[in-house]
Amino acid sequence: MGYELRVVRQSPLAFAELAKAIAPAGFGLRRSEGGSEEIVAGHAGATHTVARWRGQLIGEPGSDWQVAQLLRLSAALGARLVGEDGEVYGLRDGVIEVETGGSVVEIGKFDEIIDAGPAAWSP
């Protein structure tokens, strides 16, 4: 299990609401081999898992592309993207940022990250 990012809203998110909101935002829904629901996005003819439904949306990104997709999903649901340590991910002027402890770190340009696709982070 990797580092988790959660899609957080003030009001709880019901699965039916999630299912209704994701298609217009360009996401799909599929059942994993383990039986859980996954939110997926496409790139270069393949589908990639963005988040899993576990009573809430949880992502375990392995690339900046997945972080960008989680941000896009959060926006579609009127939610925030929050890390395990309380950091908040956001988008300002087309750049993905992470705010933690009063400091802000830029990850990169949203459009460039989306175009680059889900290349895994190097260890």
Tens digit of pLDDT for each residue in 18-27?
888 898 989 9
- Look at residue 23 and give its three-state secondary structure: helix
* Strands 57-59 and 80-83, sheet pairing: unpaired
Contact yes or no for 18/90 (Cβ under 8 A): no
* Strands 5-8 and 57-59, sheet pairing: antiparallel
What is the per-residue pLDDT across 39-53, written as a single tens digit (0 to 9) for each?
A: 999 998 899 999 999
Q: What is the pLDDT of residue 115?
A: 92
* 38 Cα distance to chain centroid: 11
Whether 1 has a pLDDT exceeding 50, the answer reads no
Q: Break the chain into its structural domains and give their ranges.
A: 5-116
Average pLDDT over residues 61-68: 94
